[in-house]
Amino acid sequence: MPGGFDISTKALRDELDGPLLLPGDDGYDEARAVWNAMVDRRPRLVARCANTADVAAAIRFGRTHDLEIGVRCGGHGILGAAVPEDGLMIDLTPMGAVRVDPRARRARVQGGALLGALDVASQAHGLATTAGNVSHTGVGGLTLGGGMGWLARQHGLSCDNVVSFEVVTAEGRRVQANAEDNPELYWGLRGGGGNFGVVTDFEFALHPEAGRTLLADFFFELDDAPAAFRGWRDLNATAPRQATFTAWVGDKDGRPQASVGLVWVGDPDEGRKLLPALRALGRPAAESVRELTYLELQTMDDSVEGHTFRRYWKGQYFSELSDAAIEAFLLRGTPDGRGEGLPAASLQAYGGAIAAVPVADTAFSQRDALFEFVAAARWDDPAEDEARMAAARRYGRALSPFASGAYVNVLADEGSAGVRSAYRTEQLARLTALKDAWDPDNVFHLNHNIRPSRATPGGPA
């Protein structure tokens, strides 16, 4: 490195309360590792921020030295954009504290916290808020893109439950965004992703939650699945808000199978009243009905979603689920639903409190979504990379004719076309104006980027 850069690095190290890591330092490789094992980039610097002042200092340093800036909270983004090659990674993971005020039913959550920490701290007081499906997801990334979870049909998306944000801007300023202070920024942070600054603190509304749940899955052979799926879809139309209908297709016991079912958050005995109708959909090859605590529900997929696999996915929203869409879902981009290395896929119901929020109230644009589709490929041999990604892309193309939009948190490598599919035209225009106001130089572009209006193709701004 040039000598001037070395001197400035020392100055930044002295300014930070948290450690500054360079290649070769203890902890550097652990800090740059994220959920998708395909991501193997090497930042020039990793600022492991201890507080908001550290974040501001790191942003100013990165801009002064013209470094690309990535921001890590949970590291679950499929592209691993938080890890910039030869750039500066602002690592928020040391900022993982959660403070709950049970009387006010509020949680203050630092920007590097994981969902599990929020769940545990809230459930200690019989409270909860919408917080995804996997406990080691980052609160920040999930919430800024919208934030689905098992409580969303009852209480809205994660972003709908944010009362206030603390943000460090592209200029290194610390600001508040809520209904009274910077209300337009508050609007954009609820669904617009990490485009407008680094959120270092969230204040969430919490809701009484006794912590009892019911999980039910009914498995069908592939030939029997279409009729079951059609009935499951029709039952979903009248499902109570405590129920989130779910479906899956993949390989089980060496052959393709599919399942329909639900996750019920509330009194399990009430949830069991829906099971006879699900059992009557056909002849399931197997069924699984389990009562779980809410914390068990939130962690049940943690081992499946571990950090050692190579990953790629495609996701879309459906505002309706036609018979043809069901068939395409079950076939997984193939003529007969069979083949080596096909991704598994899921459907998760929206509606309820999600749809009750007027679409203009937040940047999240897909309030009319009925189901979210995700095709997720997972493997461990680098030699399979191209084949696995090609299969997922083929599956995604097969579902595209039925799609009504996309979830920004599930976008992969679709680029600007993916961003356009995630937002309505009027909301994308409003987000662009917000980008012009808060980040006109596109400092925060390692994301599903809302480009400022003066940006030119081929560069960040």
The tokens of 99 are what?
């403070």
Could you report how far apart the first and last alpha carbons of the chain are, in Å? 26
* Cα gap 426→62, rounded to integer Å: 33
Residue 308: per-residue pLDDT: 86
Beta bridge partners of 306: none
List the chain pLDDT tens, one digit each, 461 residues. 444 456 578 889 999 999 999 999 999 999 999 999 999 999 999 999 999 999 999 999 999 999 999 999 999 999 999 999 999 999 999 999 999 999 999 999 999 999 999 999 999 999 999 999 999 999 999 999 999 999 999 999 999 999 999 999 999 999 999 999 999 999 999 999 999 999 999 999 999 999 999 999 999 999 999 999 999 999 999 999 999 999 999 999 889 999 999 999 999 999 999 999 999 999 999 999 999 999 999 999 886 656 789 999 999 999 999 999 999 999 999 999 999 999 999 999 999 999 999 999 999 999 999 999 999 999 999 999 999 999 999 999 999 999 999 999 999 999 999 999 999 999 999 999 999 999 999 999 999 999 999 865 444 55
* Domain residue ranges in the chain: 3-91, 212-413
CA dihedral 155, 192, 316, 377 (to 10 degrees): -100
The tokens of 68 are what?
């690309």
Correct CATH for 3-91 of 3.30.2020.30, 3.40.190.10, 3.30.43.10, 3.30.70.3340? 3.30.43.10
Residue 2: per-residue pLDDT: 44
Residue 455: per-residue pLDDT: 62
Residue 138: per-residue pLDDT: 97
User: Exposed e or buried b for every residue in 105-140, given b needs 16+ CB within 10 A?
Assistant: bbbbbbbbbbbbbbbbbbbebebbbbbbbbbbbbbb
Residue 305: per-residue pLDDT: 55
* Cα gap 147→196, rounded to integer Å: 17
CATH architecture of structural domain 212-413: 3-Layer(aba) Sandwich (3.40)
